[in-house]
Structure 1
Amino acid sequence: MPDRAKHLSRGNVTHLVGAILLGNAAALLLCALAGVVLRDGSFLPLLLSALLAAAVGGAARYFTHIPEDINFREAFATVSLAWITVATFGALPFLFSGAIPAPAAALFESISGFTTTGSTVLADIEVVAPGILLWRSTTQWLGGMGIIVLGVAILPYLGVGGMQLFRMEAPGPTQERLRPRIRETAKLLWLVYAGLTVVVGGLYLIGGMTFFDAVNHALTTMPTGGFSTRNASMGAFSPFIQWVAIVFMYLAGINFVLHYRALSRGTRPYWADREWRLYTAIILAATVLVMYSLSGTGLGFERILRDALFQVLAVTTTTGYGTADYEAWTPFAQLVLFLLFFVGGMAGSTGGGPKVIRVLLILKHGMLEIRRYLHPRAVMLVKVGGQAVPEPVMLNVVAFMLMYVGLFGVGTLAMTALGLSLPSAAGAAATAISNVGPGLDEVGPTDNFGFLPPQGQLILAFLMLVGRLELYTVFLLFHPGLWRR
Structure 2
Amino acid sequence: MNFRIIAYIVGWVCNFQAIFMVLPCITALVYQEHEFFAFLISMILCLIAGIPLTARKPKNKVFYTKDGCVAVALSWLALCIFGSVPFVLSGSIPHPIDAFFETVSGFTTTGSSILTDVEVLPHCILMWRSFTHWIGGMGVLVFLLSLLPLAGGYHMNLMKAESPGPSVSKLVPKVQQTAKILYSIYIGMTFLQIVLLLIGNIPLFDTLCIAFGTAGTGGFGIRNDSMGSYSTYCQIVTTIFMILFGVNFSAYYLILTKKIRQALKFEEVRYYFGIIAAAVLVIGLNTMHLFQNLGVSIQQAAFQVGSIITTTGFSSADFNQWPALSKTILVLLMFVGACAGSTGGGIKVSRILILCKAARKEFQLYLHPNAVKKIKMDQKTITHDILRSTNIYLTLYLLIFAVSILLVSLDNFDMTTNFTAVTATLNNIGPGLEIVGPMGNFSSFSYFSKCILIFDMLAGRLEIFPLLLLFFKGTWKKF
Alignment: residue pair count:
478
Deviation at 1:215, TM superposition (A): 1.0
Looking at structure 2, the residues matched to 268 and 443 of structure 1 have their Cα atoms a distance apart, in angstroms, of 43
Indicate the RMSD between aligned Cα atoms, in angstroms: 1.4
Contact 2:426 2:457 in 1 (8 A): yes
Deviation at 1:231, TM superposition (A): 1.1
1:351 lines up with 2:351 in the alignment: no
Matches within 5 A, 1:7-46: 8-46=1-39
1:117 lines up with 2:110 in the alignment: yes
The percent of aligned pairs where both chains have the same amino acid is 35
Contact 1:152 1:158 in 2 (8 A): no
**Matched letter for residue 475 of structure 2:** L
For 2:145, the equivalent position in structure 1 comes to: 152
Cα deviation digits, residues 254-296 of structure 1 (max 9, x gap): 0111112212327434421101011011111111121121133
1:440 lines up with 2:400 in the alignment: no
For 1:285, the equivalent position in structure 2 comes to: 278
Q: SS at 1:463's partner residue?
A: helix
Return the match for 1:194 from 173, 180, 187.
Answer: 187
For 2:53, the equivalent position in structure 1 comes to: 60
Deviation at 1:406, TM superposition (A): 2.1
Change (3 A) 1:67 1:49: farther
Cα deviation digits, residues 315-374 of structure 1 (max 9, x gap): 100000000000000011100000011111101000011110000011111111111111
Deviation at 1:60, TM superposition (A): 2.0
**Matched letter for residue 106 of structure 2:** G
1:101 lines up with 2:94 in the alignment: yes
Looking at structure 1, the residues matched to 18 and 291 of structure 2 have their Cα atoms a distance apart, in angstroms, of 51
Cα deviation digits, residues 440-468 of structure 1 (max 9, x gap): 11100001111211111111010000010
Looking at structure 2, the residues matched to 37 and 261 of structure 1 have their Cα atoms a distance apart, in angstroms, of 41
Q: SS at 1:91's partner residue?
A: helix
Looking at structure 1, the residues matched to 66 and 362 of structure 2 have their Cα atoms a distance apart, in angstroms, of 35
Cα deviation digits, residues 37-88 of structure 1 (max 9, x gap): 2212220111111111111111222367365332332211100000001100
Deviation at 1:404, TM superposition (A): 1.2
Contact 2:285 2:294 in 1 (8 A): no
Deviation at 1:389, TM superposition (A): 1.2
Which moved further from structure 2: 59-68 or 245-254? Answer: 59-68
**Matched letter for residue 107 of structure 1:** F
Q: List alignment gaps of at least 5 residues for structure 2.
A: none
For 2:85, the equivalent position in structure 1 comes to: 92
**Matched letter for residue 314 of structure 1:** S
For 2:393, the equivalent position in structure 1 comes to: 400
For 2:297, the equivalent position in structure 1 comes to: 304
Deviation at 1:156, TM superposition (A): 2.5
For 2:173, the equivalent position in structure 1 comes to: 180
1:240 lines up with 2:207 in the alignment: no
Looking at structure 2, the residues matched to 58 and 446 of structure 1 have their Cα atoms a distance apart, in angstroms, of 42
**Matched letter for residue 252 of structure 1:** F
Looking at structure 2, the residues matched to 32 and 101 of structure 1 have their Cα atoms a distance apart, in angstroms, of 19
Contact 2:72 2:158 in 1 (8 A): yes
Which moved further from structure 2: 182-191 or 360-369? Answer: 360-369
**Matched letter for residue 475 of structure 1:** L
Looking at structure 2, the residues matched to 67 and 438 of structure 1 have their Cα atoms a distance apart, in angstroms, of 44
Looking at structure 2, the residues matched to 175 and 56 of structure 1 have their Cα atoms a distance apart, in angstroms, of 31
Looking at structure 2, the residues matched to 240 and 187 of structure 1 have their Cα atoms a distance apart, in angstroms, of 32
**Matched letter for residue 22 of structure 1:** N
For 1:80, the equivalent position in structure 2 comes to: 73
Cα deviation digits, residues 100-150 of structure 1 (max 9, x gap): 111111000000011000111111111101001111111111101001101
For 2:444, the equivalent position in structure 1 comes to: 451
Change (3 A) 1:242 1:483: same
TM-score, normalised by the number of residues in structure 1: 0.96
Looking at structure 1, the residues matched to 217 and 60 of structure 2 have their Cα atoms a distance apart, in angstroms, of 33
Runs of 4+ residues over 6 Å off in structure 1? none
Looking at structure 1, the residues matched to 278 and 182 of structure 2 have their Cα atoms a distance apart, in angstroms, of 29
Which moved further from structure 2: 15-24 or 148-157? Answer: 148-157
For 1:4, the equivalent position in structure 2 comes to: none
Return the match for 2:371 from 374, 378, 385.
Answer: 378
Matches within 5 A, 1:267-278: 267-278=260-271
**Matched letter for residue 341 of structure 2:** G
1:328 lines up with 2:318 in the alignment: no
Which moved further from structure 2: 404-413 or 309-318? Answer: 404-413
Which moved further from structure 2: 423-432 or 131-140? Answer: 131-140
**Matched letter for residue 43 of structure 2:** A
Looking at structure 1, the residues matched to 400 and 423 of structure 2 have their Cα atoms a distance apart, in angstroms, of 9
Q: SS at 2:311's partner residue?
A: coil
Contact 1:344 1:351 in 2 (8 A): yes
Looking at structure 1, the residues matched to 25 and 177 of structure 2 have their Cα atoms a distance apart, in angstroms, of 31
1:421 lines up with 2:411 in the alignment: no
Which moved further from structure 2: 257-266 or 364-373? Answer: 257-266
For 1:5, the equivalent position in structure 2 comes to: none
For 1:138, the equivalent position in structure 2 comes to: 131
For 1:166, the equivalent position in structure 2 comes to: 159
Which moved further from structure 2: 29-38 or 463-472? Answer: 29-38
Q: List alignment gaps of at least 5 residues for structure 1.
A: 1-7
Deviation at 1:392, TM superposition (A): 2.5
Looking at structure 1, the residues matched to 59 and 315 of structure 2 have their Cα atoms a distance apart, in angstroms, of 45
Looking at structure 1, the residues matched to 60 and 230 of structure 2 have their Cα atoms a distance apart, in angstroms, of 48
Contact 1:14 1:64 in 2 (8 A): no
**Matched letter for residue 253 of structure 1:** G
Contact 1:159 1:183 in 2 (8 A): no
Q: SS at 2:228's partner residue?
A: helix
Looking at structure 1, the residues matched to 309 and 395 of structure 2 have their Cα atoms a distance apart, in angstroms, of 20
Contact 1:53 1:89 in 2 (8 A): yes
